[in-house]
Amino acid sequence: MRKFAVVGLGRFGSTVAEALAQRGAEVIAIDKEPELVEKFKDIATLAVTLDSTDEEALRSQGVDKVDVAIVSIGEFESCILTTALLKKIGVPKVITRASHAISNIQEKILTLVGADKIMLPEVEMGKKLAQSLILSNIMDYVRITDTYSAAELRAPKSFWGKKIGELKVRQKYRVNVLEIRKLSPEKDKVEKVNYLPQATDTIEEGDVLIVAAEEKDIERFAREE
């Protein structure tokens, strides 16, 4: 199991830390505010109060041994220093979330100090809103790389009762179906999940699909009626 460090336990950081922990990952939850850290004592593998710009403090808690670090700090100077320090101590992948709109220069600075990925919340939220307005059957949308994304969407009516192989999803749409989620009609909750469905699996009325593909292909797929 991969090890993660989440630095900054605000709304975004706490959501990520909790989601990772729920999936069985080892998580080191870090913040300088004791009350935020306290909430993760029984959730994360380790929850510590420390200054993330202190190299020795990070090493003492094993942060240098994690596979991925997620930085979500509101103060830009601390964000830069923490990102640079995490790369210095050997963290292979550092994902830095800007807490507000940043300039091109600030984005370049984060890249220069080693951020492997920079998340811009306003940009991501704006794109999600546009997607939801134009393509109403897309329920959620997550960008993985600059061009590749994953999406949760309602199965088009024209797909109901048909097998994935019959629909030629990969050949026609260049989309990979990762999951078929069957919902309980009464409570609209997930009742069953078919992971990595095969060509012989049937898509039924009310199914929710988790797909991955290039953004333009997901949009084309989502336009099916």
- Residue-wise pLDDT for 130-162, tens only, equals 655 556 788 887 766 667 888 888 898 999 999
Answer whether 8's CB lies under 8 Å from 32's CB.
Answer: no
Answer whether 72's CB lies under 8 Å from 86's CB.
Answer: no
Q: Say yes or no to pLDDT of 120 above 70.
A: yes
Chain centre distance of CA 8:
16
Mean pLDDT, residues 110-115 taken together: 89
Q: Band of the pLDDT at 91, cuts 50, 70, 90? A: very high
Q: Say yes or no to pLDDT of 86 above 90.
A: yes
Question: Tokens 């994690």 — which residue?
Answer: 66
Sequence-separated contacts (24+) of 155-158 with Cβ below 8 Å:
155/180, 155/203, 155/204, 155/205, 155/206, 155/207, 155/208, 155/209, 156/224, 156/225, 157/205, 157/225, 158/224, 158/225
Phi, psi of 222 (to 5 degrees): -70, -15
Encode 149-169: b = buried (16+ Cβ within 10 Å), e = exposed: bbbbbbbbeebeeeebeebeb
pLDDT above 70 as % of the chain? 87
Chain centre distance of CA 115:
16
Residues in the chain, total: 225
Q: What Rg, from alpha-carbon coordinates, does the chain have?
A: 20
- What domains are defined for the chain? 3-119 (3.40.50.720), 137-222 (3.30.70.1450)
DSSP result, 26-71: EEEEEES-HHHHHTTTTTSSEEEE--TT-HHHHHHTTGGG-SEEEE
Q: 21: number of CA atoms within 13 Å, CB side?
A: 19
Q: Say yes or no to pLDDT of 106 above 60.
A: yes
181: left (phi over 0), alpha (psi -120 to 50) or beta: beta
- Predicted pLDDT of residue 99: 64
Q: Widest CA span of the chain, in angstroms?
A: 59
- Predicted pLDDT of residue 100: 60
29: left (phi over 0), alpha (psi -120 to 50) or beta: beta
Digit-coded pLDDT (tens) for 29-62: 999 999 999 999 999 999 999 999 999 999 999 9
Digit-coded pLDDT (tens) for 190-221: 778 898 899 999 999 989 999 998 888 888 88
Q: Say yes or no to pLDDT of 225 above 80.
A: no
